[in-house]
Structure 1
Amino acid sequence: MNIPNILTMVRFCLIPLFIIVFYSPIDHNVLYSTLIFALAGVTDVLDGHIARSYNMVTRWGIVLDPLADKLMEITVLVCFTSANYLPLWVIIVIGIKEICMIFGAIFLYYSEEKTVVPSNIYGKIATFSFYIAIFAIAINLNKTVNFILIGITVILTIIAFINYFIAFREIRKESK
């Protein structure tokens, strides 16, 4: 197991830690759990950079890296929605996109061609926007600003999903 894959496994371990801290009775639990979320984001950037820079890209990492990201994002959505920091419609839109991405990736990976849809700039921008919006909520920035940031994130998520869907269709069309 190489360093990027270890960092991906660390991200999987940060998911239950996020939940424990988020629902703990300690002061500033939302802020601390958001810092865990930020740490997960840092490990994501690091593992991608190391994997590409040092030619450590593995099939295992290509599949599990985005899965760790999606599961962390869904975890944050569920926790923030359950605590009324996010409206239900946000988790519905982003959650549906993330679940479709997970099942689409599984479908393509287990097809005869073992294909993976690579990440694209739209998905990266949407993810970065999600981190900013969650951090703004955690520090209780401003309700209007938080709403605008979440709105931007949802729009970017929809754009990213459309682009992934187009890529998925192209891959399926090429494999026939």
Structure 2
Amino acid sequence: MGFVFRNIPNLLTLLRMAAVPVFASQMMKENLMGAMVVFLAAEITDVLDGIIARHYNIITLFGKVADPLADKLMQLTALFMFAESNRIPGVIPWLVLAKDLFLLISGLYIINTKEKVDVSSKWFGKLASVLIFAAIMLVFFEAPRAITDVIFWVCAGMALFAALMYIRNYFNQVKNNA
């Protein structure tokens, strides 16, 4: 595990993972300002670790796995905490979790079949993630529930669209590799 600590992007990813329980603690204390600061810090470190990893070409297998996991843990924690406090529709975190589990299981299947398929993040997945981030920030800023509900349903639709696009890309790559 020592290799993980040899580069800043992996350290930032580990820091983001460690921030999840801190974020949850602030939410449970109903300290929205504290939770928002932790959430924003996590999102900023996500951007920074990606920039640093690409710029200095220090992309690692750990980073490829842990970075999206850290992102999902923070976003899902925020979504479940907001649903629990009735700030967003209760089904939203479950829909996002279902999509993420589907992609995880699909990715494990692809790895197990040893097919040469690119399963890296695409623009539509990143767009869905950015929309969820924006919607979460609107909840922090206490935007009217009618507005945030619509935005979260759009996010759920984007998450479904992203999953469908990943499926389509998978089958196109398999067909082209055959």
How would you bin the TM-score normalised by the shorter chain?
0.7 to 0.9
* Whole-angstrom CA distance in 2 between matches of 1:15 and 1:22: 11
Q: Where does residue 6 of structure 1 map in the other structure?
A: 11
Q: Which runs of 5+ in 1 are unaligned?
A: none
Distance 1:152 1:144 in 2: 13
* Aligned counterpart for 1:63 among listed residues 59, 62, 65: 65
1:146 positional shift: 1.2
Q: How large is the RMSD of aligned CA atoms in angstroms?
A: 2.1
Paired residue type of 1:34? M
Aligned to 1:160: 162
What TM-score do the two structures reach when normalised by structure 2?
A: 0.85
CA 156–33 in structure 1, closer or farther in 2 if over 3 Å, else same: same
Name the stretch that deviates more: 29-38 or 131-140: 29-38
Whichever residue aligns with residue 20 of structure 1, its letter is: S
Please name the residue that 2:21 is paired with: 16
Structure 2: runs of 5 or more not aligned: 1-5
The code of the aligned residue for 1:22 comes to M
2: CA distance, partners of 1:107 / 1:64: 18
**Given that residues 9 and 50 in structure 2 are in contact (C-alpha distance below 8 angstroms), is that contact kept between their aligned partners in structure 1?**
yes
Q: Give, in whole Å, the separation in 2 of the partners of 1:109 and 1:13.
A: 28
Residue type matched to 2:68 in 1?
P
The Cα of 1:54 is off from its aligned counterpart by 1.0
Q: CA deviation at 1:36?
A: 1.4
* Paired residues of 1:81 and 1:91 also in contact (CA < 8 A): yes
Number of corresponding residues: 173
What is the rounded CA distance, in whole Å, between the counterparts of 1:115 and 1:65 in structure 2? 20
1:124 to 1:104, Cα distance in 2 relative to 1, 3 A: same
Aligned-residue identity in percent: 30
- Rounded Cα–Cα distance in structure 1 between residues aligned with 2:103 and 2:46: 17
Q: Identify the residue that residue 43 of structure 1 maps to in structure 2.
A: 45
CA contact (8 A) 1:5 1:47 kept: yes
SS of corresponding position for 2:35: helix
CA distance in 2, matches of 1:31, 1:108: 41
Please tell me whether residue 108 in structure 1 is matched to residue 110 in structure 2: yes
Q: CA deviation at 1:124?
A: 1.0
| 2:99 is equivalent to residue 94 of structure 1 | no
Report matched runs for 1:65-144 at 5 Å.
65-112=67-114, 117-144=119-146
Post-superposition offset of 1:141: 1.4
Contact 1:4 1:46 in 2 (8 A): yes
